[in-house]
Amino acid sequence: MISDEIKQQILDATDIVELIGSYFPLKRAGTNFVALCPFHSEKSGSFNVNPARQFFHCFGCKESGDAISFVRKYENLDYAQAVKRLAERAGITVREEVMDAADLARLKLRSQLIEIHREATEWFQHILFRSRTRDAEAAREYLRNRGLSKQNAENWRIGFAPADSSRFEAWAREKKFSGKALEASGLMALKDDNQPSRGLYTRFRDRIMFPIANDYGEVIAFSGRILDPEAKTAKYINSPQTSIFDKGKTFFGLDKSKRSILSEQRVIVFEGQVDLITAFEAGLENIIAPLGTAFTSDHARILKRFTGEAVLCFDSDTAGYKAAERTFAELASHDIVVRAVEMPAGQDPDSLIRAEGIEGFKKRVADAKPFHEFQIDHMSSVLDLSSLRDRVQFANVLATTVARIHDPVYQDGVVHSVSTRLGIAADDFRKRVATIARTIRKGSHRAENSDDATTSEPPLVLANKDVAMLCKLALTHAETREWLTREKSLMAILQSVPDSKLLSTVWGADFPPPHRVP
């Protein structure tokens, strides 16, 4: 067995236009390439190669596929031989794995889950496009209001899960999918113990369904957007983690955007699916979005395969800024240069593209600032650079940012930039960065060498000495605790300071009164 990871590495390293062009001449036709089909006799070229999708298709004989499929068909090879041929061409070593009974069982389950998701995707699309029910019409109206045409929805295989769950259950029975397989897929789940009757229930109801694909286009999960604005439930829900889906290792849109990311050598990170679809359909293709979850180390590791630069395009509110900080920390730890787009208040990429056009939005991306400058601009709305105390707080926050940059030349350049902007001595700031960097490294080392490094919480590291002192005083000194409780406005100032969340937790905790000092 050749692993999916090796297969994907080979496809990522192979340009299908260059590959097929090495067998016979291709002629450019717009954004694609055409030729006489090698698989059947014809006089006019119906063989089409799409470089964006890395896919070939013959409109005459209907042969189609990726680079591996082409080599298999053209050279009459089996799958393993075709993979090895392309691996040699790309300089990739192929290691085959011997499967035991457990491996075969996992492979069978994977095949079942992929089939269920493929069939479900088609059914959800059928409901969206052909159902005449009121809820399906409301779903179509929602997409129209978001500026998504029927063609856009088809391109992204968007569908709709009806409010009446019995319709999905009837479809599943008709397809003869077992309850065990449906539960394993995440499309159905066991009812809670307090339900009137045990059994399975349909997870997605009355939701616009966005299929989530793996790197090579297989649907492995769904993200469902609720239609009823008054519903007391999450606006978006994703499939749960399954044997084929881990949201901490999956991006929405990467299967479509990876070639453009490689070509542009830059990735733009969005927050939402609709924002991404709007931008992609308008012509901005080197974009991805995490699945409504914190950006993980695995996410950063995946992007590092494609590029060394990321541009963050998150909402301008506090939640968006905090998400940008967390995302920067993961990307910087994998030596990815990070810039950030400054979004106008109340705007998101979707609304901006409609207001300014795609060229206007591309200019914003081109003008994106290095992350430390983005931070300074954001924090300037909360803190005052003319104040010595606020400059110290600025320095603490930015020193944590700069400490996460590994490249010494790049880090030194940022040190000079920040110290000049803040009006502080570069040497003093460099020492502060070095101290925090050591603290971060020690924390990472302890996490890696703990007994349960995969599941334990990261160690508590207080990079900010002022916050550490306030935490200590809040726990041990009654007058300080009372003062902190009175000064509610302090938290607005401390929001941008590292570890302020911990201080807020200590501040509001229900501890016995600390010792009152006479």
CB-based contacts of 369, cutoff 8 Å, min separation 6: 339, 340, 342, 377
Q: Is 345 contained in some domain?
A: yes
What pLDDT, in 10s, does the model give residues 95-110? 766 666 777 787 789 8
Check residue 2 and report its DSSP letter: B
In a domain, 414, yes or no: no
**Residue segments in the chain with a per-residue pLDDT below the cut of 50:** 447-448, 450-461, 509-518
- The reply to whether 238 and 113 lie within a common domain is yes
The two beta strands, 159-161 and 188-190, are: unpaired
Same-domain check for residues 49 and 131: no
My answer on whether 28 and 135 are in the same domain is: no
Q: Are residues 256 and 350 in the same domain?
A: yes
Alpha helices (H) along 265-387: 273-282, 297-304, 318-333, 349-366, 371-379
Give the pLDDT confidence score for residue 206 in this predicted structure: 94
Quick one: which of 6, 15, 23 has its CA closest to 75? 23
Are both 231 and 110 inside the same structural domain? yes
Q: Note whether 112 and 37 are same-domain residues.
A: no
**Residue 415 falls inside a structural domain:** no
123 and 228 co-located in one domain:
yes
CATH number at residue 130: 3.90.980.10
Q: Which of 379, 409, 440 is the last residue of a domain?
A: 379
Query: Is residue 323 included in any domain, yes or no?
Result: yes
Residue ending a domain, choose from 379, 410, 426: 379
Task: Output the domain CATH number for residue 264.
Answer: 3.40.1360.10
| Number of domains composing the chain | 4
Q: What is the CATH number of the domain that holds 79?
A: 3.90.580.10
**Do 352 and 288 reside in the same domain of the chain?**
yes
Per-residue model confidence (pLDDT) at position 195: 56
Residue 131 has what pLDDT? 92
pTM score of the predicted model? 0.69
pLDDT at 421: 82
Residue 438 included in any domain:
no
Looking at the domain assignment, is residue 423 inside a domain?
no
Select from 219, 245, 271 the last residue of a domain.
245
Can you list the alpha helix ranges (DSSP code H) found in 195-296? 254-264, 273-282
Is the same domain home to 73 and 204?
A: no
Give pLDDT, residue 497. Answer: 54
Q: Is residue 445 part of a domain?
A: no
According to DSSP, residue 44 is labeled S
Query: Bridge-partner residues for 222, per DSSP?
Result: 211
Rounded-to-integer distance, Cα 158 and Cα 287, Å: 18
- The answer to whether residues 167 and 264 belong to one domain is no
Same domain (yes/no): 228, 105:
yes
Q: What is the pLDDT of residues 260-286, one digit of tens each?
A: 887 888 999 998 899 999 999 999 999
Q: CA separation (Å) from 456 to 9, 447, 450, 451?
A: 31, 8, 8, 9
Question: CA-to-CA distance for 374 and 392, rounded, in angstroms?
Answer: 18
Specify the length of the chain in residues: 518
- Residues 229, 114 share a domain: yes
Give me the domain span that covers residue 255: 249-379
User: What is residue 504's predicted lDDT score, i.e. its pLDDT?
Assistant: 58
> Beta partners for 96?
2
CA 188 to chain centre: 24
**Residue 398 located in a structural domain:** no
